[in-house]
Structures are given as C-alpha cells and as structure tokens.
C-alpha cells in the first residue's frame, strides 16, 4: 500500500477505503443477518487491446500515429509495467463476480489480476514488440526530464488470485501484443473490427490451457 507518486498511492487509498467501507457497512460476520452484500475490489495491470482510444496512453498513441504516417514520441522508455490484454483482467473480474453471486463470502476481499513476470517489460521493449506486427511504426525517444514523477517499476503480485481462485493469464506477452496491434491494423487499414474473433480465440485458448473459469 502506498507509493511515492500520487498515482500509485491512490491505488492504496482505494483499497483502504473499500476495506473500511466493507468492515463498516457489509461486515462479513454479519452477512445474511443484517445485510446481503458481498463487496470485493479488483486491480489490473497496464491493460492494452483493440478499441482503446484514450489519449496519453502508450499503445493508442502509437497506433494513431502510425495510422497517420507520423512519428510517435516515447516517454520513459526504461519504465517497466505489467502489460496485459484487456480480456485477462475481465476474465478475473467475471469469475470473481460469479463466486460472489454464489454467496462465497471468502472471496469478498481485494484482488490483483495481472500478467506473469514475463509480461512486465519496459516501454521501449513494448515499442519494439509492436513494430514486429506493424512494420511502418516510427518512433523517437523523448528524453525530456520535466515530466511528473512516475515509478520506474510497477508489478502486481497475483499469487492470491492464482492460489485461491485458480485464475491465471491465458496469453503471454507475445500474443498480447500481436492481438492488440492486429486489431488496430485491421481497423485502420480495412475498417474491420476483430473484437469478436479475439474473444473467441481467448476463450478457446483458455479451454486448451484448462483455466478454471473456462472449464
């Protein structure tokens, strides 16, 4: 809990607030006596995937720039983040929600749904990876030191989700970047949206991997 910069410390604040709210109003010891609410909180890694149009986010900025034939500036190239496809945490959220609907009160806690350690790579490595799937990407490193402070290393400990929920990531970083870039490339070049195909592939791969929620 905590963090040197306001962004990371805000995550700790959110968890503390949620925990205190649960203890005060939806105490597990009083479940089914004075209330019928199970409250859990979830946190994901750095989510990527097709359809993200938010500004000042690494992948959308790269994809928009290459679609316009422009060079993109890359900030904080050596910062390491836990990158994951958007379908990964969503699978965890939905599976956790199912447990709560089944009145499994032991799951009314805080949870992390992030990638395995190999998914934590630097910003510069991300750009190199995505360039493999859209060769016309052009970038330059922005060495401006005036940016606000950001932690160089962010990772999530997802041991709890793996051990108690039997949840685990389905796609490795290679597949994550491939699926994400191909979504944007298909949209910008052909006007075709691959969301349904990505979802079908993800569920199929989860079944092949025998991930608990897909069985």
Structure tokens at 43: 């946190």
Report d(CA 92, CA 66) in Å as an integer. 32
pLDDT for 8 equals 77
pLDDT, tens digit (0-9, with 9 covering 90-100), for 181-206: 999 999 999 999 999 999 999 999 99
For 58, 142, 144, 180, the CA distances from 185, given in Å and listed in that order, are: 16, 25, 30, 9
pLDDT for 143 equals 66
In a domain, 207, yes or no: yes
pLDDT for 145 equals 59
Report d(CA 11, CA 196) in Å as an integer. 31
CA-closest candidate to residue 52, choices 202, 189, 179: 179
Report d(CA 108, CA 19) in Å as an integer. 10
Higher pLDDT, 30 or 55: 30
pLDDT for 1 equals 59
Which residues, 6 or more positions from 32, have their beta carbon under 8 angstroms from its beta carbon? Answer: none
In a domain, 10, yes or no: no
In a domain, 197, yes or no: yes
pLDDT, tens digit (0-9, with 9 covering 90-100), for 119-178: 789 999 999 999 999 999 998 887 665 555 455 667 788 999 999 999 999 999 999 999
In a domain, 7, yes or no: no
What predicted TM-score, i.e. pTM, was given to this entire model? 0.90
pLDDT for 75 equals 84
41 contacts 110 by C-beta, under 8 angstroms = yes
The CATH number given to whatever domain includes residue 204 is 3.90.25.10
DSSP string covering 95-122, please? HHHHHHHTT-GGG-SEEEE---GGGEEE
| Residue 44, strand partner residues | 113
pLDDT for 152 equals 65
In a domain, 149, yes or no: yes
Domain limits for position 144: 40-214
Total domains, the chain: 1
pLDDT for 175 equals 96
In a domain, 8, yes or no: no
In a domain, 189, yes or no: yes
């Amino acid at each position: 809990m905590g963090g040197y910069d306001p962004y990371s410390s805000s995550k700790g604040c959110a968890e503390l607030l949620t925990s205190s709210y649960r203890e005060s109003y939806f105490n597990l010891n009083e479940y089914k006596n004075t209330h019928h609410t199970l409250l859990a909180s979830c946190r994901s890694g750095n989510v990527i995937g097709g359809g993200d149009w938010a500004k000042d986010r690494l992948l959308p900025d790269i994809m928009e720039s290459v679609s316009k034939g422009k060079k993109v500036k890359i900030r904080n190239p050596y910062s390491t983040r836990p990158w994951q496809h958007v379908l990964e945490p969503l699978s965890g959220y939905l599976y956790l929600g199912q447990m709560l609907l089944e009145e499994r009160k032991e799951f009314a806690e805080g949870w992390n749904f992030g990638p395995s350690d190999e998914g934590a790579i630097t910003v510069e490595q991300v750009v190199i990876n995505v360039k493999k799937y859209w060769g016309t990407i052009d970038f330059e490193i922005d060495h401006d030191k005036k940016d606000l402070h950001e932690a160089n290393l962010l990772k999530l400990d997802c041991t709890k989700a793996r051990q108690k929920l039997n949840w685990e990531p389905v796609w490795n970083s290679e597949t994550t970047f491939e699926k994400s870039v191909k979504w944007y490339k298909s949209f910008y070049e052909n006007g075709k949206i691959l969301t349904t195909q990505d979802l079908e592939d993800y569920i199929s791969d989860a079944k092949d991997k025998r991930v608990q929620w897909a069985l």
